[in-house]
Amino acid sequence: MVSFTPTEEQQLLLDTIRRYAVNDVRAAAHEADESGQIPPELTRTGWQIGLVPSAIPEELGGFGEMSALTGVLAAEELAFGDLAVALQVLSPALLAYPVSLYGTAEQRENLLPAFLEEQFIPATAALLEPGISFDPFDLQTVAAADNGKICLNGSKAYVPLAEDARMMLVYARNAESGDVDAYIVEKGAAGVQIEKREQLMGLRALPTYRVHFVNVEIEAAARLGGAVGSDFNVLLNRSQVALAALAVGVARAAFEYARDYAKQRVQFGKPIAQNQSIAFMLAEMAIEIDSARLLAWEAAWKLDRGEDATREAYLAKQYADKMVLQVADNGVQILGGYGFIREYPVERWLRNGRGFPTFTGMAIV
């Protein structure tokens, strides 16, 4: 039966995240963006909402409720608070979810219980590569078999929390099969060179790094899923859907801020929202945000049913990329001169929103 109403459990979760996003995240987001630091306390509070632990299988102590649909609902709400904070709080999922989905029994037992702790455990994944023509299906990072071990070579970019991460999931082309596989690399592995923090237009509060792998030798058992491997298509689809939902959250933040501003900003004796030129922009923004949200929901719903969601995830991501840029740009425009001032959050949402076509693989549901 067709319905657009979340379950009661999902609604409760959304209410919790909303409180965190509006009360905690919004209060800290400007300072975090200016200083480049997310307060550890803020990350901890976000972590303790329990999104990642709830997705960990029951036999390992989690709630076993990994759902892409719940994931997109949560992602939108978190990004409504702030995108950098959302990506930081969710970054352990970049490792935990693929391990939950495809890990061998041993990998799951070894790696997942850490994420059940109350303390935030930094973990991450490395997919994106430096350059202007990145293609996730044509990776330059290569994993080659070498005397019963695996040798990784290549460079990655935009790796969140790489410096602190206890574990990193590295996507690389399997030199034998040509397929994309994921490899678990522990902190401090020899040959992993982490450059200094990247300087980006947006996401200034989130530490991201370029990481080089120079003859990094890992055990054969470090390949995600062992001999069976993993399904990169599905992982990429889950990532695209997560990013689409995060884009919806950023866009909604810009829309709601611009809407409220337009209602209180008086020019020529009336609120500017009473001009059709402004009111119609806001109406269009609302329609486009809902469009992108429903595309993300449908793709997530298909993923949860175990169906191939490649087309849905691709279209949702493509749509959301354009939508968030347009909506955030309109947000800045509606604020006029104030839109350009960093004291107001809308320009930050435009900077953050601009990055979505680039952020491949930086989040997952």
Partner 1 sequence: MAISFEIPEFVQQMAQMAGFMAQTYMRPYARQLDENEHERPKAFVEAMWPILRDQQKATLEKLTAPPANGGDKGGEPKKKRPGTRNLQLMLMIEQLAWGDAGVYLCLPSAGLGGFAIEAVGTTEQKLRLLTRFAEGDQPVWGAMAITEPGAGSDNSSIATTAVFDEEHNQWVINGEKIFITSGKLALEESNGLVIVWATVNKAAGRAGIKPFVVEAGTPGVSIGKVEIKHGIRASDTVSIVFNDARIPADNILGSPEVQASSEDKGFKGAMATFDASRPIVAASALGVGRAALEFVKEKLAENGVEIPYTLPYHKLTAVQRDVLEMEAQWKAAYLLTLRSIAMLDEGLHNSLEASMAKVKAAKACAWIAQKAVEMLGMMGYSREWLVEKWMRDSKIAEIYEGTNQINTLIVARRVLDYSRRELA
**Structural tokens at position 266:** 């008086």
Beta-strand runs (E) in 192-291: 192-194, 208-219, 266-267, 270-271
**Quick check: 145 binds partner 1 (CB under 8 A)?**
no
DSSP letter for 223, please: B
Q: Which is nearer to partner 1, 188 or 306 (CB)?
A: 306
Q: How far is the CB of 271 from partner 1 (least distance, A)?
A: 9
**Cα(172)–Cα(6) distance, rounded to whole angstroms?**
37
Q: Which CB, 178 or 188, lies closer to partner 1?
A: 178
Considering only residues 184, 282, 363, 365, which one is a binding residue for partner 1 as defined by CB under 8 A? 282
Of 4-12, 84-92, 175-183, 209-217, the segment contacting partner 1 by CB under 8 A is: 4-12
- The nearer residue to partner 1, 311 or 342, going by C-beta atoms, is 311
197 binds partner 1 (CB under 8 A): no
Q: Does 15 bind partner 1 (CB under 8 A)?
A: no
CB 274, min distance to partner 1, A: 6
Pairing status of strand 142-146 against strand 167-174: parallel
Residues sharing a CB contact under 8 Å with residue 338, sequence separation 6 or more, in sequence order: 261, 344
Cα separations in angstroms, 248 against 18, 71, 84, 207, 297: 14, 13, 14, 22, 11
Strand-strand pairing, 123-126 and 167-174: parallel
> For the residues of 269-334, what is the DSSP string, one character each?
TEEGGGSHHHHHHHHHHHHHHHHHHHHHHHHHHHHHTT---HHHHHHHHHHHHHHHHHHHHHHHHH
Binding segment for partner 1 (CB under 8 A), chosen from 96-104, 170-178, 181-189, 272-280, is 272-280
Shorter beta-carbon distance to partner 1: residue 33 or 312:
312
Asked if 14 is part of the footprint of partner 1 (rule: CB under 8 A), the reply reads no
Of the pair 109, 135, the CB lying nearest partner 1 is at 135
Binding mask 148-187 for partner 1 (x = CB under 8 A): ----------------------------------------
9's enclosing H/E stretch is helix 8-19
- Member of 165, 243, 295, 334 binding partner 1 (CB under 8 A): 295
- Alpha-carbon distance 331 to 315, whole Å? 24
Q: Which of 58, 105, 118, 133 binds partner 1 (CB under 8 A)?
A: 133
Residues in contact with partner 1, counted by CB under 8 A, come to a total of: 48
Of positions 44, 149, 311, 342, contacts partner 1 by CB under 8 A = 311
Gap between the Cα atoms of 106 and 94, Å rounded:
18
Dihedral over alpha carbons 174, 178, 182, 188 (to 10 degrees): 30
Q: Which range in 25-33, 185-193, 278-286, 339-347 contacts partner 1 by CB under 8 A?
A: 278-286
Phi and psi at residue 191, to the nearest 5°? 95, -5
- Name residues contacting partner 1, limited to 231-270 (CB under 8 A): 233, 259, 262-263
Q: How far is the CB of 315 from partner 1 (least distance, A)?
A: 4
Minimum distance from CB of 318 to partner 1 (Å)?
6
- Binds partner 1 by CB under 8 A, chosen from 20, 97, 257, 319: 319
Reduced to 3 states (helix: H, G, I; strand: E, B; else coil), residue 194 is strand
The footprint of partner 1 (CB under 8 A) covers: 1-7, 10, 69, 132-137, 233, 259, 262-263, 273-274, 276, 279-280, 282-284, 286-287, 290-292, 294-295, 297-298, 301-302, 310-312, 314-316, 318-319, 357, 360
